[in-house]
């Protein structure tokens, strides 16, 4: 799963303030890196995994130990989000999720908690993750508008293997209104 490379081809005006804003927007628009993602399991609809990557999403879209695991959706951060920012976001989200989803699995050997949650309602979990990121970490995420011009969500990239009806359903579930 990889965001296609996009080119920002607007002319930059002579106004240095406006040019600065457009330069920042171009860097965000053209970026294919820095993501917070939610993974799922094809056979277990009550499983979810959350994670982060400073690279593109391809490295997180499969698991050699679980062929049914796939990356469900990634939310793209702004281009200037640092590794420390991303780790803090992940830690904060996991702490929040632990309050509402108590079945986070520990690693077998170390007993440290993993990023995997079992026995959850996947849709509610996904919506809660998006809402928490939106409410608590908005400044680090890119925003994507809906065609109606009145609603938006954190910039998303759903797995291309998902049926369009599923993507539409989950996009509408995370929709925010101005």
- Give the contacts of 132 (CB within 8 A, at least 6 positions apart): 93, 96, 97
Considering only residues 35 and 28, tell me which one the structure prediction assigns the higher pLDDT: 35
Question: What's the pLDDT score for residue 14?
Answer: 63
What mean pLDDT, rounded, does the chain reach?
86
Given this model, what pLDDT does residue 173 score? Answer: 98
d(CA 91, CA 109): 21
Structural tokens at position 143: 């925003």
More confident residue, 37 or 6: 37
Position 20 scores a pLDDT of: 52
For the cut 50, the answer to whether the pLDDT of residue 143 exceeds it is: yes
Tens of pLDDT, residues 66-121: 889 999 999 999 989 999 999 999 999 999 999 999 999 999 999 999 999 999 99
pLDDT at residue 8, rounded to an integer: 44
Question: Is residue 24 predicted with pLDDT exceeding 60?
Answer: no
Q: How far is CA 3 from CA 9, 12, 56, 171, 175, in A?
A: 18, 25, 8, 17, 20
Write the CA distances from 140 to 46, 50, 75, integer angstroms. Answer: 28, 17, 10
């Amino acid at each position: 799963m990889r965001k296609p490379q996009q080119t920002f081809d607007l002319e930059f005006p002579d106004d240095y303030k406006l040019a600065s804003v457009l330069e920042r927007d171009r860097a965000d628009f053209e970026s294919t890196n820095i993501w917070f993602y939610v993974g799922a399991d094809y056979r277990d609809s009550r499983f979810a995994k959350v994670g982060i990557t400073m690279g593109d999403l391809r490295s997180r879209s499969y698991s050699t130990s679980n062929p049914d695991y796939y990356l469900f959706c990634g939310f793209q951060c702004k281009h200037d989000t640092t590794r420390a920012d991303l780790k803090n976001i992940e830690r904060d989200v996991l702490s929040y999720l632990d309050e509402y989803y108590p079945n986070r699995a520990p690693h077998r050997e170390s007993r440290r908690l993993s990023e995997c949650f079992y026995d959850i309602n996947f849709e509610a979990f996904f919506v809660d993750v998006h809402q928490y990121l939106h409410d608590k970490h908005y400044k680090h995420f890119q925003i994507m508008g809906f065609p109606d011009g009145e609603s938006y969500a954190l910039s998303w990239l759903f797995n291309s293997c998902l049926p369009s009806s599923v993507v539409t359903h989950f996009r509408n579930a995370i929709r925010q209104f101005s």
